[in-house]
Structure 1
Amino acid sequence: MLKPKKIGLYFGSFNPIHIGHLIIANHLVEYSNLDEIWLVVTPHNPFKKKKTLLEDHHRLELVNKACEHYKKLKSSDIEFKLPQPNYTINTLIHLSEKFPENQFCLLMGEDNLNTFHKWKNFDVILKHHPIYVYPRKTDNGHENQFSNHPDIVHIEAPIMEISSTHIRKAIKTGKNIRPLLPAEVWNYIDEMNFYRK
C-alpha cells in the first residue's frame, strides 16, 4: 500500500506572490517531511470591496508562474469553488474528501499560532491535520497553549520581512522592486500594468 503524500497547505492572497513566500515554502518542503506544498490562493470576498486586490484568476496566474521552477510547489484554486465566506476547516474537509490518498497539513506563521484558538473548529483541525509553524518577527515570543503540542511542528526558517503591501506601494510610486519578485511574476505584472494606479 502506498504511503500517503504529506501536503502542506500555504494559504494567502498572494497579492502579489513574492520571493519571501517562495523562500518560506521552499525551505519548509526541503527541511521537513512534507512531500509537496500547495499555495492556496484565497479568493476575493465578494462582500468586501478592495481596490488593491487583483482578480482571483490573475493572482492564481502569478502563483502558477512563481512555482514553474519548483517541482515540489504547486498552486491551488480549491477555495475559488467553495461557498464564501470560507473557513479553513471547510477547505480541509473538502480536500480530504477529494484527495483521500493525501494527508493535508497546515502551514502558518508563528504570529497566527497565537490566535489559532479563535479559528472555527480549531480543535478538529488539530486532531486531523498536523500544523507546521515557521518563525515570524514578533514581540510576543512567549509560550502559548500550543507551544508543546505533539501535532505542531516548529521549523527553523529564514524570517522574511517582505510584504505584498510594500511591493504594491513601491510599484505605484515607480520604484524598482524587481529583485523582490520572481522574473516571470514581475514580467506579468509589468505587462498587465498592475498596481500602477
Structure 2
Amino acid sequence: MKIGLFFGSFNPIHIGHLVIANHMAEHSDLDQVWFVVTPHSPFKKKSTLLDNYQRLEMVYLATQDYDSLKPSDIEFNLPQPNYTVNTLAHLHEKFPQHEFALIMGEDNLKSFHKWKNYEVILKNHDLYVYPRISDNRIENQFHGHKKIHFINAPIMELSSTFIRKSIKAGKNVEPMLPQHVWKYLDEMNFYR
C-alpha cells in the first residue's frame, strides 16, 4: 500500500486540509493519506497550540467518515526535536509492508534543500506537491526530478491561523471546519 504523509500541527484541521488530502487519495497513485500530527514544538508559543491529543482528536473526528484518510500520532513518542527523515525511518521499520511518500505544499518544496538529509528522503521516497499561490519559482534542482510529482489539487487559501483569529474575534467559522471538528471546538471552547 502506498501511503501519503501529510504533516502538520492541524491547529485546527480545516476543510482545506481535507480537500487536499482527499484529492491526493483520489487523483494520484496514493492508497491512503495519513495526517501526521506534529507534537508541540519548543519554538512555538504554547498559548496558540492546543495539546497534542486534542489536535489528534480533531484529526480523528475530521477523518472518521473517509476510508482513505487516517490520523497518525507516530511522532508523539519520537525524540524531539524530530526530523522528517527520522520519522520516515521509524515508519519503514514499523510498517515494512507500506511504501511512504511525502505530501507538501509548493512553498515547502522551495526550502526542501534545507531539510536534514533531504537527499536521503528524495532517494527513498516520492514527494507529492500541491500548488500554493506564490511568486517564487521552485529551485532548479527539483524541476523534472523523477521522485517529485506535482498534483493539480485545488488551491486552498485557508489557514488555521485565520480560523483561530476569527474564533477569537467572535466570527462564525463553522463552514470552514468539518462538522464534527466544529462541534468539538465549540463544546471545548477552544481558541476563544
TM-score (norm 2): 0.97
C-alpha distance in structure 2 between counterparts of 1:87 and 1:131, whole Å: 16
* Partner SS for 2:119: helix
The one of 102, 122, 127 aligned to 2:123: 127
Structure 2 residue 108 is matched with structure 1 residue 109 = no
Q: Distance in 2 between matches of 1:146 and 1:56?
A: 33
Q: Which residue identity lines up with residue 181 of structure 1 in the other structure?
A: L
In the TM superposition, what are the counterparts of 1:77-88 in structure 2 within 5 Å?
77-88=73-84
Instruction: Decide whether the 8 Å contact of 1:20 with 1:160 is kept in 2.
Output: yes
The letter of the residue matching 1:154 is: F
3-state DSSP class of the match of 2:66? coil
Take 2:91 and 2:119, find their aligned partners in 1: how far apart are those partners? 18
Q: Counterpart amino acid of 2:4?
A: G
Taking structure 1 as reference, are residues 48 and 170 closer, same or farther at Cα in structure 2, changes over 3 Å only? closer
Quick check: 1:69 aligned with 2:65? yes
What amino acid does structure 2 have at the position aligned with 1:193? N
Find the aligned partners of 1:10 and 1:20 in 2 and give their Cα distance: 12
Consecutive unaligned residues in structure 2, runs of 5 or more = none
Structure 2 vs 1, CA of residues 14 and 156 (structure 1 numbering), >3 Å: closer, same or farther? Answer: same
**Are 2:126 and 1:150 aligned?**
no
> What TM-score, normalized by structure 1, do the two folds share?
0.95
Separation (CA, whole Å) in 1 of partners of 2:44 and 2:20: 28
Runs of 4+ in 1 over 6 A off after TM superposition: none
1:111-164 deviation digits (Å, cap 9, x = unpaired):
111111100000000000111111111111455310110011111010000000
Percentage identity across paired residues of the two chains: 67
After superposing the two structures, state which structure 1 stretch, 142-151 or 98-107, moved more: 142-151
Aligned equivalents of 1:47, 1:142: Cα separation in 2 = 27
Query: 2-side partners of 1:182 and 1:131: how far apart?
Result: 26
Question: What is the aligned partner in structure 2 of residue 187 from structure 1?
Answer: 183
Are the equivalent residues in 2 in contact too, given 1:114–1:144 (CA < 8 A)?
no
Change (3 A) 1:162 1:99: same
Instruction: State the distance in 2 between where 1:72 and 1:51 align.
Output: 32
Paired with 1:142 and 1:102, the residues of 2 have a C-alpha distance of 29
Shift in Å at residue 49 of structure 1? 3.6
Distance in 2 between residues matched to 1:84 and 1:54, nearest whole Å: 18
Q: Aligned equivalents of 1:184 and 1:164: distance in 2? A: 16
- Match status 1:163 vs 2:159: yes
Q: Which amino acid aligns with 1:195?
A: Y
Give the C-alpha shift of residue 96 in structure 1.
0.2
In structure 2, relative to structure 1, the CA distance for the partners of 1:50 and 1:104 (3 Å cut) is same
3-state SS, counterpart of residue 149 of structure 2: strand
Provide structure 1 residue ranges, at least 5 long, that are not aligned to the other structure. Answer: none
Letter in 2 for 1:37: V
Pairwise CA RMSD of aligned residues? Answer: 1.0
Question: 1:11, 1:40 within 8 Å by CA — same for their partners in 2?
Answer: yes
Deviations 1:149-190 (CA, angstroms, capped at 9, x unpaired)? 001111101000000000000000110010000010000000
Whole-angstrom distance in 1 between the partners of 2:44 and 2:107: 24
